[in-house]
Amino acid sequence: MAKYNVLVVCGGDGSEHGVSVVSADFVEQQLRNCPDFEVLRATLHERRFLLADGGELSFSGNVASGAGEPFKVDCVVPVIHGHPGETGDFQSFLSILGIPYIGCNSESSRYCFNKITTKLYLSAYGIPNTPYVMVPAPTKGCRETAFAFFHRHHDVYVKAASQGSSVGCYHVTAEDALWPAIEKAFTLSSEVLIEQTIPHRELEVAAYEYGGEVVLTEPGEIIMPDGAFYDFDEKYSKDSKTVTTVEPEGLSAATRALIHDLAGKTFSALKLRDLSRIDFFLAPDGNVLVNEINTFPGMTPISMFPKLLEHHGHRIGDFFREAVLRAIKRGA
């Protein structure tokens, strides 16, 4: 069996750098268990590809230098949550170099990372999502639009449009807190989204390609303490009180079927590829709304994507092996 050179890249300079490193530990181990692969790992930090020994990779096309003998990269596994991995920037870089990679292409990554373009696509395809208004700039006209939306709903979330893991998200229930929250969000993104708060259960589906077809798992559930918001600390802190389950209780067959249908439509509409996690809100009235899409979901010990995939009956190592081989066949 021919050996393929696989480069795992993690890190990035966004808020999710540390989480990305933890995910890469898991992914790297899965890839090293595959005898078909020779695996090299680099951490992207301040625009440099750093090796564990302190060395630095440089690229000439699809050949990486700096790790002993030149390493011809057959495929990259971009374990970068947030910027520049899920924003599409890193995928564009790899395409320029002519290096295949697993995951969504640059366009789909960019559209899914930006909460506004995600909603525009979902709405255009008739896929239900939470009521929202866009705030493209901190101008007088946009301020009036924002307050009009708040006065209709009185309970909203203000979100920086291009941030991950709930970074730059603020729960607002008082009028005098609205514009300060928007101003804070603008320090993290050039656009801001305001969403109506929807009481809900938070459900997640792993959507991925395996065996020549798109697989949509049964939903798992994120169960948060009463009144808590699933922000960065609640997701990743060792003191988090949030629990997860791959076997949610009390979901009717009709609800499961609707979630399955919407997950499939979302995967197709946003032109997702290889792997993703699609998150849903289940409202008390039974409405199912798409919340967000993760184009390279977390692979930490508490992450839902590997749990849902394994619960569906697939081995995560087999999934990564197939995804890498498919990417190599697909080309850059």
Give the domain range for residue 146.
132-196
Alpha carbon of 266 to those of 126, 237, 322: distances in Å?
10, 30, 23
Q: Is-contact 323 74, C-beta < 8 A?
A: no
Residue 238 pLDDT grade (very low, low, confident, very high; cuts 50, 70, 90): low
pLDDT for residue 54: 87
- DSSP letters of 265-325? HHHHHTT--SEEEEEEEE-TTS-EEEEEEESS---STT-HHHHHHHHTT--HHHHHHHHHH
Instruction: Mark whether 69 and 144 lie in a shared domain.
Output: no
Instruction: Mark whether 24 and 141 lie in a shared domain.
Output: no
Cα–Cα distance between 332 and 327 in angstroms, integer?
Answer: 8
CB atoms < 10 A from the CB of 312, how many?
15
- Asked whether the predicted pLDDT for residue 219 surpasses 80, the reply is yes
CATH number of the domain residue 207 falls in: 3.30.470.20
Instruction: Mark whether 140 and 120 lie in a shared domain.
Output: no
Q: Which residues of the chain form beta strands (DSSP E)?
A: 4-11, 37-45, 48-50, 56-60, 63-65, 71-72, 75-79, 132-135, 156-160, 169-172, 192-196, 201-210, 213-216, 220-223, 243-245, 275-282, 288-294
- Asked whether the predicted pLDDT for residue 1 surpasses 60, the reply is no
Task: Please state, for a pLDDT cut of 70, what percent of the chain lies above it.
Answer: 94
Mean pLDDT, rounded, for 80-99: 95
Flag whether 144 is in a domain: yes
Instruction: Mark whether 46 and 99 lie in a shared domain.
Output: yes
Q: The whole model's pTM is what? A: 0.92
User: Total structural domains in the chain?
Assistant: 3
Mean pLDDT, rounded, for 113-133: 97
Instruction: Mark whether 99 and 74 lie in a shared domain.
Output: yes
